[in-house]
Amino acid sequence: MIKVIQAGLYTSIQDIGRFGYRNIGVPTSGTMDSISANFANALLNNNSNDAVLEITMLGPKLEFTTPTVIIITGAEMSSKLNNISITNYKKYSIKKGDILSFGELKKGLRCYLAVKGGFKTSKVLKSRSFYNGITSKDSFKKHDIILYDSYADDINTFNSAIKNTTLFFETKVLEVYKGPDFNLFTLEEQQKICSNKYTVSNLMNRMGYRIKETIIKHNKSILTSPVLPGTVQLTPSGQLIILMKDAQTTGGYPRILQLTEKSIAILAQKKEGDTFNFLLI
């Protein structure tokens, strides 16, 4: 198991998400950057739905009390094992008493820590993903315990790293589809929406990202309708809200665009001040 020495800014357990309960208002949740998280599980030969730690911006300090094998993917957070720098996308054997810590954020916003066999927190509604009100907590605190199955192997069998010279999430292009309410707007308005450059505001979390720019003020309204992670809503004030993995299940703003899963992962790695543009596909 892991003892949480320091919790970091926002560290939670996530898997691929909680499906089949949106009709009763339960969000999907799951990993914000599913590509990086899936990569971690694949490199450990885990199941695709094995739970990982999602670590946001400021990482925790963790003590391992039983052996395992770990890998870190996604954002680069100056990770160290027993005060020795380690590399993303490389497997490391862990022994009892090893300390994993994180330092300066260099690239991205969220990294993923996977252990062999996945983390073994309780399942609620068929998922281990943290969500306040569904699970007992939404993030880890100091002195918390994180369970996993012990696994011992020789570090010498894990002496190579995957070359990852270009991170996919460094792109500024988010591929999108037309949303259900795209055609409420004129052709000129549609072109403006799709061609504008956007900036992430400081109002961004697992529920959604609010964008700084004011695009098109309008008085168009819709009945409260289903929304999904990746739905782009246009508020009457002309600002965009992009829903993320912990978003509500319905909304009343026009749903003008829908991000692909890859685009959700790319946006999940962007922080305040980062810019992007849409590519309509």
Per residue in 207-258, pLDDT (tens digit) is 999 999 999 999 998 999 999 999 999 999 999 999 999 999 999 999 999 9
| Spatial separation of the C-alpha atoms in residues 256 and 63, rounded to whole Å | 46
159 and 175 within one domain: no
CB 148 within 8 A of CB 65: no
> For residue 166, what pLDDT is reported?
61
CB 217 within 8 A of CB 254: no
pTM (predicted TM-score): 0.94
102 and 45 within one domain: yes
Q: Residue 237 burial by CB count (10 A; 0-12/13-18/19+): exposed, middle or buried?
A: exposed
Decide which of 167, 185, 218 is a domain's last residue.
167
Residue 73 has which token pair? Answer: 């993917």
> For residue 163, what pLDDT is reported?
61
> For residue 168, what pLDDT is reported?
87
CB 40 within 8 A of CB 114: yes
128 and 47 within one domain: yes
209 and 141 within one domain: no
Positions of the chain with pLDDT lower than 70, given as ranges: 154-166
Strand 92-94: give its sheet, edge to edge. Answer: 10-14, 52-56, 107-115, 68-76, 92-94
Task: Render 66-119 in DSSP notation, one character per residue.
Answer: S-EEEEEEEEE---EETTEE--TTB-EEE-TT-EEE-----EEEEEEEEETT-B
CB 226 within 8 A of CB 268: no
> For residue 221, what pLDDT is reported?
87
191 and 144 within one domain: no
User: How many domains does one find in the chain?
Assistant: 2
Q: Range of 125's domain?
A: 2-167
Decide which of 167, 200, 235 is a domain's last residue.
167
| Spatial separation of the C-alpha atoms in residues 161 and 179, rounded to whole Å | 40
178 and 144 within one domain: no
114 and 29 within one domain: yes
192 and 161 within one domain: no
Q: What is the domain-level CATH number for residue 252?
A: 2.40.100.10
